[in-house]
Amino acid sequence: MKTAPELPHLSRNYQTIPTEDFNLCQISRVSALIHEEYSIAQRLELMRRRSRAHEHDHDSTSATYIAVVQLKQSSPFHDLNS
């Protein structure tokens, strides 16, 4: 049985790993897919954050506008401001 070279930093139980268990081409493909999915997940999260921030800005702007309108309507000078 072929084995991977011994790695001194690993415990004895894991120093000999059969090379038959590793197909570098498959590992590379899986690694690329994981990287791609991670990148997509990061972009989606960024889009969600931007969307939430935009909604928050819109809500804040709407709330400010409503407060200003109500303040103007309750002002004793409301008729003069029109």
Which residue shows structure tokens 């894991």? 14
Residue with the larger pLDDT of the pair 46 and 18: 46
Q: Is the pLDDT of residue 2 over 80?
A: no
Q: E strands along the chain, which residues?
A: none
For all residues of the chain together, what is the average pLDDT?
A: 69
Taking 50 as the threshold, does the pLDDT of residue 76 lie above it?
yes
Please say whether the beta carbons of 17 and 5 come within 8 A: no
